[in-house]
Structure 1
Amino acid sequence: MTGTQPRRTPVSIVCVFNDLDVRTTCLDASIHAGTPDAPQTEYLPVDNRDGAFASAGAALNDGARRARNDVVVFVHQDVYLHSLVALEEAAAALQDDPGTGLLGAVGITPSGSVAGVVRDRVVMIGEPSSSVPVDSVDEVLFLIERDRVLAEPLSEHPDLAWHAYAVEYGARVRSEGLHVGTHDVVLTHNSMTANLDRLAEAHQQVARLYPGLLPLRTTCGVVRATPDRSRWRTAWRRRHGVATWLRESRAAARLARADGLGIRDVVLGDIRLTVDDVLDVVGADRLDVVNLAPHRADAQPWSPASVTRRGRDVSVVVQTAADLAGSLREPGDGRALLVADVDETALRTLAPSLRDVPHLVGLAQDTGGWILVLSGSVADDVRAPWPTRRNAPFGLRPRPATAPGSSAGAPAELAR
C-alpha cells in the first residue's frame, strides 16, 4: 500500500567492549539519542576490559543469552547508530523472510561489490541494499533472531577469536540452505585502527569448515582453500596495482579540470587512513566532515553526529553539493573541513566557492574524491602524509612554487 511505513520490531543490542571512552562517545551516545524513537530497545554491553572472555563469540553469546527481544544485534563499540528506527526495520525484514538466516549492515556480493551503505571513518562506502544476498557480512554490525543464536551460538574457536566470526556464521547458515543478506541501517564506523592480527588464521579456519562455499568474498579479502603465494599471483597483484594507479591518475586529471587546478595539485590517497595524520600535521583540533549526497532525500536518515578521534571533536553530516556551496567558508584557526564522496559534478558545483579558500583535492579508487579545506595559516606541509610517487598522478610530483601565493601545488601550499 502506498505510504505504508515498514514494519518494525524491537531489538536487543549486544556489544563487547574494551575501551569505555570509545563506547561512551560512539555507541552509547547514539543509543541515548535514538531511544525516544525506539523506546523498547534493549542495550547489553559486555565488559571485556579485564580479558574475561577469550573471544568475541564468547562475550557476544553471553549477551545474547540475556537478551529479551526477538532479534539480537551484534555491534562494535566504535559504531554510531544514526537511526534505531532503521535498525528495527532491518530486524522486521529478517523476521519476515524465513529464507534468510543472517543480515548485516555491510557485506560483499558474489561479484565482489559492497552491499549496504555505511560511513567508514569519514567516507561513505557501499551501495544501497535491502536484503541483498551476499557471500558474507562484516562483523561491524549484524542481526540474528534470538532463538537461532541461542540454538546455534557464535563460534568461540580460538582461530575466530576476534575476526571472521560473522563470516563463519554466515557460511554456517548458507550451508543450511539459508540466505545471508544486508540491510541499510545507517551507521558510522569510527574505527581508529585496522587490526589484522590472526586474520589469515581466521580465514583458513572458515576455509576448512566450508570448502564447498569457496572462494568466499569478505570485506577483508577472499577466503580460499589455500593462500596463493605463487609468482603468477604476485605478478598479477603488481599489475592490478599499476592499473589501479593509472585509473586513479586519469580520475585525478578530471577532478583537477573540474576545480580549475593542475594535475600536480591533486594527491592520490585513501583519506580514511590518513585523516588523523593530516590533522596532526596542521595542528587542527576539530574536524567537520561533510559527506555529499546526490539528492536531498539521501541525507534524511543520516542524523548529524559528533564523535571523537585522537582527542579531537569530529562532527559528521550529509549534505548536497548545492547546499554546501552556499555555506562553504575558510575554517577558523584550529579547524578543518573534509568534504568526502566528491565526484566531478559535485566539484564543479563547489568550485566557485573554493576559488578563494585554501584546499587540497585528492582521491582513491575505493572511496572516490575528497576535498580538505584548511585555514590559510596552517597550510604548510599538508602533503606530508602522501610522500611517494604512488601518491602523485602519473608520478608527477608537485612543482616548487614560483612565487608567493602561487597555486602550483608545492608541498607547502594549498590551491586557492
Structure 2
Amino acid sequence: MKETSLLILAAALSSFMSSAANPAVETQSAARPGLLLHVSKLGDNTDGRSWRTAFQTIQAALEAVPDDLGGHRIIIRPDTYAEANLDSKHKGAAGAYNVIEGDWDGRFGSGAKGWVVIDSGAPRVVVRTNPKAATGNPTFMILTNGNPDAETGLKSVDWWGPWRCDPAYSADGWDRWVFRRLYCTGSEGGVGWDMTCHEGVEFSAIVEDCVGLGRFAGACVMAHVGRPAEPVVFRRCYFMCLDVWGDAGAVYVRAHNKRMPSTPDAVFEDCTLIGPDNALQVGYPKFEGYTRVLFRNSRLIVMNFSQPHGTPATGAVYSDLAGKFLHVDFEDCTVMGYKVLGARDDDLFSYTTKGTNRAYVQYRQAVPKGFERLRFWPVETFNELLPPRFQSSAAATKPRLTKLPVALSPSERTP
C-alpha cells in the first residue's frame, strides 16, 4: 500500500512539474480532447486516425481538421516532406490550442526518431514572381512548362514558404496553434505568419523546439495584434536568415497596435537567432504601428564584424520605424555582432534590460546602457551557431568510447 501511494505521489508530482515548466502550453493545448490525426509516408492515406491509415502529406491532415473548437492534434512521423504553403482552415480555441508536432523521440509510436523536415524548396514545380500581380510585393506563380529538376534549390520567391499567406490570403487560420519539433527550410521563411488582408486581427501561437531557416527570416509574425495573456511565443528554437537584402532578419516582427502595448506581441525564450545583418528586424520605412518584443535568455548573433569604413551590420536589433513605434525588452541575453542596436535615421527605439545582458561587438562600437561589454570572445554563445541541442536522438544517446589508463592484461596497456 505504501509503495502504491508513493507511485501515485510521484506521478502527481511529475505531472505538476511538467505543467509548471510550460504553463502556457499545458493550459492551452490540453483543455479539450479533439481529433488525433497522423501523418506518415508509410500510411495508406485513408483517414489518418492511426499510423496504418495515416495521411501521406501534412496538408491532407490539415484538411481533415473538422472545426474551430480546438484541441485537435496532428502527429507527424519523422521524415522529409516536400510541401509548401501549408494552409489551416480551422483555428484553435481559447484554452484549447490545436497542435502540430513531430514524433521526435518515437513516443507517439511512429516507429521513427528525429526531425520532421518541411522542405519548401523541394516540391517539383517551377516557380516565378508573377509580373502581373497588383501589389508592390508581388506574389508567385507556378508555371506549367519548364523542368523542375533543373531548378532544385532554395525557392527564394516572395510569399513562397512553408505556411500559406499572400496579400489576398491571411495566415490567421493558424491562430491558436502549437508547433513542435518541426524543421522548416528551403524558401523565403521558416516558421511564420502574415495577417496581410486581415491586418490588425488578434493572433496567438506557440512554437517550441523548432528550427526555421529562410532567405527573408527564420521566423516571423506580421500585421497582428497580440492578446495580452496569449502572446506569440517562440521557445527553445533556432532561427536563421540567409540574406541581408530588404527587411531580412533572423526573426521579423511587425505588430499593428494603435498604441504601445504593456505586454509583448512576440516572446523569444531560450532561442538562438542568427543573421548576416540583423537578428531582429522590425517594420519597413514609413510604416506606423506599435510593436513590443521580449527576448529572454536568448542568443542574438550577427555574422558581421566589419570595419567601420567597410560594410558594417546595421545592428543585431534593427528597426525601420520611427523610434516611438518599437519597444524591446531584454532579459539575460547575449548579443554578438558589429553593434547591438540600430535604427533608420538613428531614431532609436526604447528598450529595457533585466538580469545580466552581455554584448560582444566590434571594438570601436559603443555598448548600450544595461549591457555588459565582453572582453573575450563568447565561446559558449558562438557554439550555438549550429543547433547541437536538436541533434538526432540516436546521436545524442550514442555512448562514447573512452580509453582507460589501466592494464587490462599483462600483455596489454591502454594509454
Relative to the length of structure 1, the TM-score reads 0.30
Which is bigger in relative contact order (C-alpha 8 A, separation at least 6)? 1
